[in-house]
């Protein structure tokens, strides 16, 4: 597929209730690279194999949760086009100047009907992954620091009106629906997984009465062995695990859910498959999410925390 | 030093050290009664009212615990460290919100 328009998840800004505890978790346990701190005190991190300056920004606050989730688009002209498309659709957009986030160009922010702030941007300084561009080695020592995921992969957000949200992502931003879970009566969607790429999800939503909630930020590993190693490292560091290591039926991802020191859930996972926009979406019934193994294929149960614990 | 925790609803009693939260000690002892969530003070499901006994509290989300709540000793069990024997009432609930949002009844709890 030609990669134009919205390219990929770019950055997330997360609220943590103790900044240094958060930094220790994401830098030393998860194994991200700290790339900067700004005048507001926000801390910037990236996964070792990401080339752009930052994919995670930590902000100290009196509550946990997510401030915004952003996608990188192809170029500044695409940013202008998508902004006018969003406005034509009826959404209000707001521009943030280059540099408001370190090493990041202008951002277009809009609120979606689930109560989340989504951003688009075209430019962020490429600081590289520590490897030369010409004749590179396959990895650096940073690949072995902590869990060491290769990238911020996607997020799962909880909020109301996900049918409206789906329309915005598919009709304006060029995403397509990859998988979904039906409501118990089968008349609507309780959960949707959408892609702007060849991935099983770039963003996902679950219908939920409280707006603006974070279920998890997800970080990609390359092998099942690395998922098991992640479980060992998280447990050695007394990080509370939620689910796994196991495999989701939905997306086929092999996963661990766990919580950071402020109670923001994160996922470390590998696998899935490579969907195309012409594929019919895979559908799970609501029972299929639990007894059908959609959430946890080996155990076939709907873990209580999946639908109830968010930040 | 260890103190005894009483969950008033269930009558469950268990020991909890001063450097261990009420929630983590409950899970460690195999007891039940307080919903187990993020254990980081962020998600709010383990909210309890401490009806008797001294404690210290760590940082917890203002979204779930207001200053008034805290003055009434309504706090998150994952952030409460006992200084004496304590009794708690459970306030937090594990709502299956996806069903209630759709105007539907609760689905059977998984085993």
| ipTM for the whole complex | 0.89
Half-sphere exposure of A269 (CA within 13 A, CB side): 29
pLDDT at B1: 87
What is the average pLDDT across B7-23?
94
User: How is residue A284 written in tokens?
Assistant: 């799970």
On chain A, the residues whose CB falls within 8 A of the CB of B110 are 290, 301-304
Per residue in A150-182, pLDDT tens?
999 999 999 999 999 999 999 999 999 999 999
What is the average pLDDT across A52-80?
98
Per residue in B41-95, pLDDT tens?
999 999 999 999 999 999 999 999 999 999 999 999 999 999 999 999 999 776 5
Of residues A65, A185, A307, nearest to B98 (C-beta): A307
Cα(B25)–Cα(A64) distance, integer angstroms: 23
Pick among A58, A308, A310 to test the B interface (most B CBs inside 10 A): A308
CB contact under 8 A, B102 and A308: no
Dihedral angle computed from the Cα positions of residues A105, A165, A13 and A101, in that order, rounded to the nearest 10 degrees? 10
Q: Is the pLDDT of residue B39 over 80?
A: yes
DSSP, collapsed to helix, strand or coil, labels residue A167 as helix
Cα(A64)–Cα(B70) distance, integer angstroms: 17
Helices (H), chain A: 19-23, 76-89, 162-167, 224-236, 286-290, 304-308
Please tell me the class of the B2-101 domain. alpha beta
Per residue in A181-214, pLDDT tens?
999 999 999 999 999 999 999 999 999 999 999 9
Assess whether the previous peptide bond of A245 is cis (omega < 30° from 0). Answer: yes
CB burial string A15-26: b at 16+ within 10 A, e below? bbbbbebbbebb
Classify burial at A298, counting beta carbons within 10 Å of its beta carbon; exposed 0-12, middle 13-18, buried 19 or more: exposed
Strand A213-220's sheet: what is its strand order? A241-247, A253-259, A265-271, A213-220, A151-159, A203-207, A189-195, A176-182, A282-284
User: How is residue A229 written in tokens?
Assistant: 């190693």
- pLDDT-derived band at A148 (thresholds 50, 70, 90) equals very high
Cα(B92)–Cα(B65) distance, integer angstroms: 11
Name the residue in chain B with its Cα closest to that of A303.
B110
A216 is catalytic: yes
User: How is residue B47 written in tokens?
Assistant: 């909210």
Q: Contact, A243 vs A257, CB < 8 A?
A: yes
pLDDT at A205: 98
In chain A, the domains with their CATH numbers are 6-125 (3.10.180.10), 151-308 (3.10.180.10)
Strands A151-159 and A213-220: antiparallel
Per residue in A87-145, pLDDT tens?
999 999 999 999 999 999 999 999 999 999 999 999 999 999 999 889 999 999 999 99
Q: What are the angstrom distances between the C-alpha of B82 and each of A198, A290, B12, B59?
A: 51, 37, 16, 15
Name the residue in chain B with its Cα closest to that of A258.
B38
Of residues A184, A301, A305, nearest to B104 (C-beta): A184
Q: Is the pLDDT of residue B107 over 70?
A: no
pLDDT at A289: 96
How many angstroms away from the CA of A289 is the closest CA of chain B? 11
A267 is catalytic: yes
A208 is catalytic: no
Strands B55-57 and A265-271: unpaired
> Could you tell me which of B55, B92, B85, B58 has the C-alpha nearest to residue B73?
B55
> Could you tell me which of B44, B35, B38 has the C-alpha nearest to residue B109?
B35
pLDDT at B94: 62
User: How is residue B107 written in tokens?
Assistant: 């689905």
Report CA A27 to chain centroid distance, whole Å: 17
A248 is catalytic: yes
Of residues A261, A264, A308, nearest to B96 (C-beta): A308
How many angstroms away from the CA of B6 is the closest CA of chain A? 24
> Could you tell me which of A230, A253, A246 has the C-alpha nearest to residue A301?
A246
- Of A25, A44, A216, A226, which one is the catalytic site residue? A216
Per residue in A275-304, pLDDT tens?
999 999 999 999 999 999 999 999 999 998
- Of A11, A154, A208, A215, which one is the catalytic site residue? A154
The backbone region for B7, taken as left when phi is positive above 0, alpha when psi lies in -120 to 50, beta otherwise, is beta
Q: What are the angstrom distances between the C-alpha of A7 and each of A101, A198, A233?
A: 19, 10, 31
The domains of chain B are located at 2-101
């Amino acid at each position: 597929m030609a990669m134009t328009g919205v390219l990929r998840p770019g950055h997330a800004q997360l609220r943590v209730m103790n900044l240094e505890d958060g930094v220790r978790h994401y830098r030393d346990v998860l194994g991200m690279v700290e790339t900067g701190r700004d005048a507001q005190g926000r801390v910037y991190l990236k996964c070792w194999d990401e080339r752009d300056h930052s994919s995670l920004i930590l902000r100290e606050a009196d509550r946990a949760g997510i401030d915004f989730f952003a996608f990188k688009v192809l170029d500044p002209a695409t940013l202008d086009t998508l902004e006018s498309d969003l406005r034509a659709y009826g959404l209000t957009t707001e521009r943030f100047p280059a540099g408001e986030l370190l090493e990041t160009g202008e951002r277009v922010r809009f609120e979606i009907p689930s109560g989340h702030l989504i951003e688009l941007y075209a430019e962020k300084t490429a600081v590289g992954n520590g490897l030369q561009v010409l004749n590179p080695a396959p990895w650096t020592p940073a690949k072995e620091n902590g869990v060491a995921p290769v990238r911020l992969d996607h997020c799962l957000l909880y909020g109301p009106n996900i049918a409206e949200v789906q329309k915005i992502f598919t009709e304006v931003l060029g995403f397509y629906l990859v998988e979904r879970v039906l409501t118990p009566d089968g008349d609507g969607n309780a959960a949707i997984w959408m892609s702007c790429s060849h991935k099983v999800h770039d963003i996902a939503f679950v219908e939920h009465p409280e707006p603006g909630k974070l279920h998890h930020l997800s970080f990609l590993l390359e092998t099942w062995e690395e998922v098991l190693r992640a479980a060992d490292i998280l447990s050695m560091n007394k990080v509370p695990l939620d689910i796994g290591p196991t495999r989701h039926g939905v997306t086929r991802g092999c996963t661990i859910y766990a919580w950071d020191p402020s109670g923001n859930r994160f996922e470390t996972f590998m696998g899935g498959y490579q969907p195309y926009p012409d594929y019919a979406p895979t559908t799970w019934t609501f029972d299929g999410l639990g007894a059908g193994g959609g959430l946890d294929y080996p155990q076939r149960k709907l873990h209580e925390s999946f639908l109830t614990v968010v930040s | 030093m260890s103190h005894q925790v009483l969950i008033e609803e269930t009558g469950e009693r268990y020991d909890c050290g001063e450097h261990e939260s009420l929630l983590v000690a409950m899970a460690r002892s195999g007891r039940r009664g307080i919903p187990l969530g993020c254990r980081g003070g962020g998600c709010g499901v383990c909210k309890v009212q401490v009806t008797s006994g001294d404690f210290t509290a760590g940082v917890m989300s203002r979204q779930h615990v207001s200053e008034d709540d805290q003055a009434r000793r309504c706090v998150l069990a994952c952030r409460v460290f006992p200084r004496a024997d304590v009794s708690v009432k459970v306030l937090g609930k594990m709502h299956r919100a996806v069903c209630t949002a759709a105007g539907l009844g609760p689905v059977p709890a998984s085993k």
